[in-house]
Amino acid sequence: MHLTPEEQALLAGEAGHATQKAMEILTALGRIYGAERMIAVGSVQISGVSYANLGEAGLSWLAEMADGGGKTRVFTTLNPAGMDIENYTNLGISEEFAENQRRVLSAFDRMGVVTTCSCTPYLFGNLPRFGEHIAWAESSAVCYANAVIGARTNREGGPSALAAALTGRTPAYGYHLDENRQPTLHVQVKAAVTKNPDFGALGKAIGDRIQSQSGYRVPLISGVSEANLENLKSLCASIATYGGVALFHIPGITPEASAYALPTESLTLTDEDLQRAKQELNTASREEVDFVSLGCPHLSLREIHRIAELLNGKRVTKEFWITTSRPVKGMADRMGYTEIIETAGAKFATDTCCVVAPIKGRFTALATDSAKACYYAYAKNNFKTRLLPFDEVVREACQ
């Protein structure tokens, strides 16, 4: 693998121990994937932030990198943490967990990482341009960056994302290269796809069909004529969760779709396929639901506005988490949405989400509009699930 003189100096330890370790990680990764060189990245997004996932082993590695003089060379933000940094007691998070989570954030802070914890960094300033090389880690955000924005990133792990942050580099392989961005499968959708659960079900149906494929799986999805930002973030979260997909194209909607010919391999998805995908995520009865959450991926201001409209003058009867980033919550505060939502008894779970927070054993069944949240609610916390349209989730919280 060719390294520039500057990259060789980093590898030789001339910029300190942490940066040397970071270059060792990246060159090892490059060798494994056959990269010929490194490329500069414009931004980084790091996952593996919740202390519940990191534990002491992960935390001590972060501390070693911070103590070793690691400093970010590009704009870097974090995935959700295990708690709302300012409001964790209201969410039932213990003081012991909070202390450990603060140690994690402190290590990132010492390295110059912007400790805004969110899976939708593109909503508040970590927004790459078309064609820009980046190194992001959260699977839904990686898919959104590749597919919707047309930026270029592999799905990084926590250590490789941090290594990219400390060096400003990543090995040139995978979705950074033109040849791996070409569609490999034509998915013809013959069903109405309009609301978030429809897009989530579409992602699940595609993912279920292509899971057995290896290599770079890039669906070109035809038959979807409209999708807003929120629909697309739902699709990205779902298709990444169920199919490991990091890039798709939709003619007329995503920026690279017109650059490619239709792939020869194809499959058709009908309304029946989407209904089946939804049914598989509806394992709880209405009576069993004792936890409601919206914001997987983290909510946009438009979605919070809609929740405020629906909750105005109402009272929630179940634990209801509104998960979003702190900058978006700040805008909701200013617009008066937060006051309406909290007066109704719902809770903001800012900086975190219903998947990475340590809530196993606290609830029986989750109602949500997110196919990804359904997957992890069961896989991680053993909750039953109800997948509903956005407005109905809010109504469910008030039943």
Q: Are 186 and 265 in contact (CB under 8 A)?
A: yes
Site string for ligand F3S, 138-167 (x = CB under 6 A): x-x---------------------------
* The one among 116, 254, 323, 350 contacting ligand F3S by CB under 6 A: 323
Q: Which of 48, 80, 200, 358 binds ligand F3S (CB under 6 A)?
A: 80
Distance (Å, rounded) from C-alpha 260 to C-alpha 262? Answer: 7
Which of 314/380 has CB closer to ligand F3S? 380
CB of 22 or CB of 142, closer to ligand F3S: 142
Q: Is 49 in the site for ligand F3S (CB under 6 A)?
A: no
Q: Which is nearer to ligand F3S, 173 or 320 (CB)?
A: 320
Taking the C-alpha atoms of residue 119 and residue 79, their distance in angstroms, rounded to an integer, is 5
Q: Which of 22, 296, 310, 397 binds ligand F3S (CB under 6 A)?
A: 296
Which stretch, 99-107, 172-180, 294-302, 390-398, contacts ligand F3S (CB under 6 A)?
Answer: 294-302
- Contacts by residues 225-232 (CB-CB < 8 Å, ≥ 24 positions apart): 225/252, 226/194, 226/253, 227/193, 227/199, 227/253, 229/148, 229/300, 229/302, 230/196, 230/300, 230/302, 230/303, 231/194, 231/195, 231/196, 231/199, 232/144, 232/147, 232/148, 232/199
What is the three-class DSSP state of 207? helix
Q: Does 324 bind ligand F3S (CB under 6 A)?
A: no
The C-alpha atoms of residue 313 and residue 378 are separated, in whole angstroms, by 33
Stretch that binds ligand F3S, among 108-116, 197-205, 213-221, 348-356 (CB under 6 A): 348-356
299 binds ligand F3S (CB under 6 A): no
Q: Which is nearer to ligand F3S, 222 or 368 (CB)?
A: 368
Please check whether residue 63 is in contact with residue 17, taking contact to mean a CB–CB distance below 8 angstroms.
no
- Segment near ligand F3S (CB under 6 A), from 27-35, 223-231, 293-301, 324-332? 293-301
